[in-house]
Amino acid sequence: MLVTGGAKRIGAAIARAFGDAGWHVVIHYGRSQAQAETLAASLPSAEIVSCDLADRDEGPAMVEALAARLDDWRVLINCAGVFDLDTADALDPEIFTAAMQVNAATPARLGQAFLAHARSRTGRRLINITDQKLLNPNPDFFSYTMSKHALSATIPMLSMARQAKEDRVYGIAPGAILASHDQSEAEAEVSHRMNLLGRRATPDDVAGAALFLAGGWLDSGETLYVDSGQHLLAQPRDVLFLARG
């Protein structure tokens, strides 16, 4: 399996979970080479790869190169992303361009390359990490949220276009899990419990969902929400600001 952004944060939790479950893990990193090397060394079977996901062609080339040498490549998880602040009343063109490329266009092209070239004896699984904001929008992180909507739209389309019935295309929509942007841990402890269960979802929850989807038990095209019910609550702003009163 390959996880993009696998050196840190949620991506690293996914890499560890698959490694502990006996998978060979390919950890993609952008600038976090040291973290990727340390994580790979801690897993039973792992390697690292690097490319710039902001570049139009590097990601698909990486996938094609891996597909040429991996005999049984079953899972690709698009986890890497950028998360920068602009708002519904002030779109930032640079933030928008980066978000749409890294969070939407590149994962879509990675998925297309994976489904076109990867070989697997038991069916392939493409899993895109989206966001609970799909069903619980607010006006903050405007470009980021648009990019996740765009990525989510690829899930049913790629599912419909797949050539092998054994293949699956899925989404995982996490809620507030790790401190993000300029959020302190104290703020995260408050804001990440603003959900129906009053419980912080964890990176391991997302990793467990990814392992479940890797089994292919759900129909292709489905998205799992891993957010302790956050997407069922209307929130006027991003939890980053709600925690600050």
The per-residue pLDDT for range 62-73, each reduced to its tens digit, is 999 999 999 999
Rounded distance, CA 45 to CA 233, Å? 41
Residue 245 in this model has a pLDDT that exceeds 80? no
- Would you state the structure tokens that stand for residue 41, as one six-digit string? 């060394």
Question: Mean pLDDT, the chain, as a whole number?
Answer: 96
> What confidence tens digit (pLDDT) does each residue in 27-75 have?
999 999 999 999 999 999 999 999 999 999 999 999 999 999 999 999 9
Q: What per-residue string of b and e applies to 123-158 under the rule 16 or more CB within 10 Å gives b?
A: ebbbbbbbbbbbebbbebbbbbbbbbbbbbebbeeb
pLDDT digits (tens, 9 = 90+) for 10-28: 999 999 999 999 999 999 9
Residue 244, pLDDT above cutoff 90: no
Q: Which amino acid is at 105?
A: A
- In this structure, are residues 141 and 237 in contact, taking their beta carbons and an 8 Å threshold? no
**Cα Dmax for the chain:** 53
pLDDT score for 174: 98
Q: What is the reported pTM?
A: 0.97
In which order are the strands placed within the sheet that holds 223-226?
46-50, 25-29, 2-3, 75-78, 125-129, 168-174, 223-226
Contacts of 117 (CB under 8 A, 6+ apart): 63, 64, 67, 68
CATH T-level topology, domain 2-242:
Rossmann fold (3.40.50)
Tokens of 220: 């292709």
Interatomic CA distance for residues 99 and 131, integer angstroms: 14
Contacts 24+ apart (CB under 8 A), 142-145: 142/86, 142/87, 142/88, 142/90, 142/91, 143/84, 143/86, 143/91, 143/92, 143/95, 143/96, 143/99, 143/100, 144/81, 144/82, 144/83, 144/84, 144/95, 144/99, 144/103
DSSP string covering 90-150: B--HHHHHHHIIIIIIHHHHHHHHHHHH---SS--EEEEE--GGGTS--SBSHHHHHHHHH
DSSP secondary structure string, 158-176? Answer: HHHH-S-TT-EEEEEEE-S
pLDDT for 243 equals 81
The pLDDT value given to residue 180:
80
Question: CA-CA distance, 97 to 141, in Å (whole number)?
Answer: 13
Q: What is the pLDDT of residues 74-114, one digit of tens each?
A: 999 999 999 999 999 999 999 999 999 999 999 999 999 99
pLDDT band at residue 183 under the 50/70/90 scheme:
confident
pLDDT tens figures, 223-243: 999 999 999 999 999 998 988
The confidence score (pLDDT) of residue 151 equals 98
pLDDT above 70 covers a percentage of the chain that reads 100
